[in-house]
A = this chain, B = another copy of it.
């Protein structure tokens, strides 16, 4: 059994591992968890003792298979709870993350399996992120950043890169939601802003926005 703190470390390392082939550095983990490098060193020693990861002083860490599976299971719980909150409890997608951060640490296999069943075994969470299956397998969909689309290209919104409440609320305000079709109408070379058509309306968005919205190309 793992403490909430241990679980949060495993989750952070797992997420960082998806975006890099090399070992994960102490600083990267400290940064992700808003903690100090010295605290990270202590914790990764403990997780190495528990065979959750491989650690060689100064060389960063790599999750073991057991570590990956454990982390994926926490992420599975997090994302299933997010779906539950949106689908069954009238939460909006910008309200779910903090509560899911708590709920993901509840220990009860039956609980999460029943939630899964109640929801009809969803494959994606409210932010378009895939839900790992019981074995920790995670089938990532083919997706591109909106920023990478060229003029005239079309796609469906399938996910967000930034799940912060401010960004999600901005999307709500602009009428941008997962499942909606967008078309790039124009791109501005000067600041990489782009004009897109969504809901039959043209709106202009900054490059920062376009770099945080995932699209499945049509």
Contacts and interface: CB of A to CB of B under 8 A. Distances in A.
Contacts of A111: 85, 89, 99
A172 to B, nearest CB: 17
B89 A99 contact: no
Interface stretch (A44-52, A101-109, A134-142, A145-153): A101-109
Interface residues of A, number: 18
A91 interface: yes
B118 A107 contact: no
A95 B107 contact: no
A114 interface: yes
A38 interface: no
A127 to B, nearest CB: 18
A201 interface: no
A107 B110 CA distance: 22
Nearest to A108: B99
Nearest to A90: B114
B115 A106 contact: no
Contacts of A88: 118
A89 B118 contact: yes
B102 A115 contact: no
A58 to B, nearest CB: 36
A85 B114 CA distance: 9
A99 B106 contact: yes
B106 A91 contact: no
B89 A114 contact: yes
A102 B99 CA distance: 14
A108 B102 CA distance: 10
Nearest to A111: B99
A107 B102 contact: yes
Interface of A: 85, 88-91, 95, 98-99, 102-103, 106-108, 110-111, 114-115, 118
10 contacts: A88-B118, A89-B110, A89-B111, A89-B114, A89-B115, A90-B114, A98-B108, A99-B111, A102-B107, A106-B106
Given A98-B108, A102-B108, 10 more contacts: A88-B118, A89-B110, A89-B118, A90-B114, A91-B110, A91-B114, A95-B110, A99-B106, A99-B111, A102-B107
